[in-house]
Amino acid sequence: MMIAPAVVSKGSQSKVNIDGGLNDTLSKWLETSEAIKLGYHSKAQFVTEAVREYLTNLQRTEEKFMHLYWPNEKDERLTIDVDIYNTKAICNICKSDKCIHIQTLYTDKYIQKQLRKREIKLPLIKEESNP
């Protein structure tokens, strides 16, 4: 699930409820010199920024799906060391998304079987158009 960055237009606000204890703690903190130094003037300002930052970090975490390391004992050059993202797989050996290691992920029948067995889904390869 990709989360769109928050776009805030003037006057489009909503109310949310937060735990009473957390609300009290936030109220006290907003009165401190640290809060003032950081430029926080209201709960709404602080909560809006906190939610935006949390969702941004969540999105960054989702973008990196997993790290896959598959050693090849017979031929070390064919070891697979990739990071699989939502939209593409990047080889950590070649620093590419089009190298032999990535191609092997998509074409080798044994690897395909092992990926299915482990319920690992590869991102779709985008076809490049030739001008």
d(CA 122, CA 88): 8
- Two tokens at 99? 């190298």
Per-residue pLDDT of the chain (131 residues; tens, 9 = 90+): 444 444 444 557 788 888 989 999 999 999 999 888 888 889 988 888 888 887 776 666 556 678 888 888 888 888 899 988 888 888 999 989 999 999 998 999 988 998 899 888 888 876 654 55
Amino acid at 9: S
3-class SS at 68? strand
What predicted TM-score, i.e. pTM, was given to this entire model? 0.47
